[in-house]
Amino acid sequence: MTMSEGADAPGNGLGHNAACPVPNCSIPVDLILRSSDQELIGAHKANLEHFSDGFPSADTVSDSKEPVDLSENGTTLKLLLSGMHKQKLPTLSGLGSDQLLALAEAGEKYFVYGVMAACSEHVRAESRLVKDGRTATAYFAYAAKFGYVDVADAVAPFMVDLDTTYMKSRLIGYDTAFLAWMRYREQFVALSDALTSIPAYVYVATPMDGCTAWANYVAAMRVTLPMTVKGHLKLLRGATFDRLEGIFDAHYGMLTQTCRCRSGACCAMAGAWKAELRKDLLATKPFSSFL
């Protein structure tokens, strides 16, 4: 960007070339904002007053022709300012999750109600598609900060295998959310126990003398299943049974082929073990029930 007065900054006598981000906007620029990445952006005091509750008010900056420094980056500020005009809000569908969340946070911070509402709706929809832990945590932090419980519930299952130290660092100042997440995660740690020590209720039948199918099945499962809680949590990530089901089923064929019990004892126990785990996983409570 050149620092000379440009034709694209109509009515701007402030000594900086900074246009309004809305194409063909005819409102005079009477305030210049500087983003964290040093971009100068033209704004209209009247619009800031009208569309937001937290922006540096016209009063506080009226004597200054100097740009007002803000902590948001240029992309975010331009979208935010676009949302402070009498026109449709900028489309959010092309934004990556980082950009979307940055805009959503800025909307909340400056009380730009239109942007707040549009972003929270879009975040709510997007949160249901999140699968990786890093993105889930970013959505979760936004949800914890501004009280969007359904967003937190949607992404929490993808955070069960994250380090508590990492989570603590992402939730500084939001201890209630952090503690609730710890308790939420504890449910999955408890499931990990049922993977390492087969619950007593599984031993409902006794294999026929000499049938080693069940013992072999258990041994094979022990070799395949991770040895650590962390490994189990990875398997349970997303709170779906799919990955575990794959492991159970992979060994089931061997069991049915080698079991000689007429009562079907070995197969019954394998079935009970899997069914109970699936039931326990489905019975885990959503994150918000720990708030």
Return residues touching Zn ion (CB under 5 A): 20, 22, 25, 27, 207, 211, 213, 259, 261, 266
Min separation Cβ 180 and Zn ion, Å:
42
The tokens describing 176, both together, are: 């209630």
DSSP symbol at 261: -
Q: Which is nearer to Zn ion, 237 or 274 (CB)?
A: 274
Q: Which is nearer to Zn ion, 216 or 284 (CB)?
A: 216
Min separation Cβ 42 and Zn ion, Å:
7
C-beta separation of 72 from 110 below 8 A: no
CA distances from 30 to 12, 33, 43, 83 (A): 6, 10, 6, 17
Q: How many CB atoms lie within 10 A of CB 46?
A: 14
Q: Which is nearer to Zn ion, 130 or 266 (CB)?
A: 266
Min separation Cβ 240 and Zn ion, Å:
30
Q: Which is nearer to Zn ion, 22 or 48 (CB)?
A: 22
Cα dihedral 261, 266, 267, 268 in deg (nearest 10): 100
Q: Which is nearer to Zn ion, 133 or 207 (CB)?
A: 207
Question: In what order do the strands lie in the sheet containing 31-34?
Answer: 40-43, 31-34, 68-69
Min separation Cβ 132 and Zn ion, Å:
37
C-beta separation of 276 from 202 below 8 A: yes
- What angle separates helix 265-282 from helix 175-196, to the nearest 10 degrees? 180
Q: Which is nearer to Zn ion, 193 or 249 (CB)?
A: 249
Min separation Cβ 237 and Zn ion, Å:
33
Q: Which is nearer to Zn ion, 171 or 261 (CB)?
A: 261
The tokens describing 183, both together, are: 């308790």
CA gap 266, 255 in Å, rounded: 7
The gap between the terminal CA atoms of the chain, to the nearest Å, is: 48
CA gap 155, 170 in Å, rounded: 14
Min separation Cβ 209 and Zn ion, Å:
10
The tokens describing 189, both together, are: 């740690």
Collapse the DSSP code of 284 into the 3-class scheme (helix H, G, I; strand E, B; otherwise coil) and give the result.
coil
Min separation Cβ 269 and Zn ion, Å:
9
